[in-house]
Amino acid sequence: MLDTSMLLRDGRVLAFTDCGASSDPPVFYCHGAPGNRLDLVWIEDAFRGVRVRVVSADRPGYGGSSPHPGRGWNDWPDDLAALADHLSVERFAVMGWSSGGPYAVACASLLPERVTSAAIISGVTDMGWPDAWEGYDEAEATLMGIGDEAQAVAWCEEHYGPDGARFFSRPGDLPPADVAFLQDDAVIAGWMPTRAEAFRRGIGGFAQDITVQGRSWSFDPGKITAPTRVLHGEDDPRVPIKHSRHTAEVISGAALETFSGRGHLSMLAETPRVAAELIALK
């Protein structure tokens, strides 16, 4: 696994990991919120086993990536395209989990000549759709509703601390699949220690990310031509399954695949298989 960074044209740093063999076809992964480039390194062997290379970058303000004040939905595809150029990758698949889901949709919409296929796993849909707010996580919905980056940072500092340390102590009922996921030895040793990396620069990246998430999509999912898969756990307590139903409806040719007995976190275990299937769709 390569864990490094590059310099973007505007002087910002973009930190990323590159997992798997460089000769294998690439899938660019968009992490959740909070999340970071290390989200999937704990299952690198699984990606190697299905002969997929997975590249994952920190969005602005997370981990090792510079902040990007005032950014919007359309900025991330530009950053990802610059990363692909840096790695000499012309065409690639995209995959996004949770809050990373709409970023995968944005890339498929705005980079049609480069994105070969896409997957949205347990993804948040367009919050401009009125029904998206019903049943959504109360704290996150409150944060999205603030609508101002500076005020969102202040709210997060009050509730989670400037370093985000209190975020992971949030109460919440988890379905059995997610409880089992968090008790798995590989997850305990490989994934959980990486979660704090999201807040290495403080709470600002998360606050901005959720602020952007609360805005209507500024790109058109109806323009997506790449084969697209939408997947969701039937026992997801975090992102209502109707989000994935809506996303599948607005992307031509997309169909929702649901997973019985899967929650939100436990869907991460599906990513190696999904990545391999994305490559096969090319």
Give 222-264 pLDDT, tens digit per residue.
999 999 999 999 999 999 999 999 999 999 999 899 999 999 9
- Expressed in percent and rounded to 5, the helix, strand and coil fractions of the chain are 45, 15, 40
Residue 130 CB partners (closer than 8 Å, separation 6+): none
Using pLDDT thresholds of 50, 70 and 90, give the confidence band for residue 173: confident
For the chain, what is the mean pLDDT? 96
Domain 2-280 has CATH 3.40.50.1820: yes
* Sign of CA pseudo-dihedral 231, 71, 18, 86: positive
- Give the pLDDT confidence of 7-34 residue by residue, as tens digits: 999 999 999 999 999 999 999 999 999 9
CA separation for the pair 115, 104 (Å, rounded): 10
Beta bridge partners of 54: 19, 27
Q: At residue 111, does pLDDT exceed 70?
A: yes
Phi-psi region of 164 (alpha: psi -120 to 50; beta: other; left: phi over 0): left
Cα distances from 200 to residues 109, 196, 205, 206, in angstroms, run 31, 7, 10, 11
| Per-residue pLDDT at 110 exceeds 70 | yes
Query: Model confidence over 124-135: pLDDT tens digits?
Result: 999 999 999 999
The residue among 37, 88, 67, 109 whose CA lies nearest residue 206 is 67
pLDDT at 281: 87
What pLDDT, on the 0 to 100 scale, is given for residue 170? 74
Q: Does residue 34 have a cis bond before it (omega within 30 degrees)? A: yes
Has residue 44 got a pLDDT over 80? yes
pLDDT at residue 172 above 90? no
Give 45-84 pLDDT, tens digit per residue.
999 999 999 999 999 999 999 999 999 999 999 999 999 9
pLDDT at 152 over 70: yes
Q: Helix, strand or coil for residue 282?
A: coil
d(CA 230, CA 255): 6
**What count of residues does the chain have?**
282
Its pTM stands at 0.97
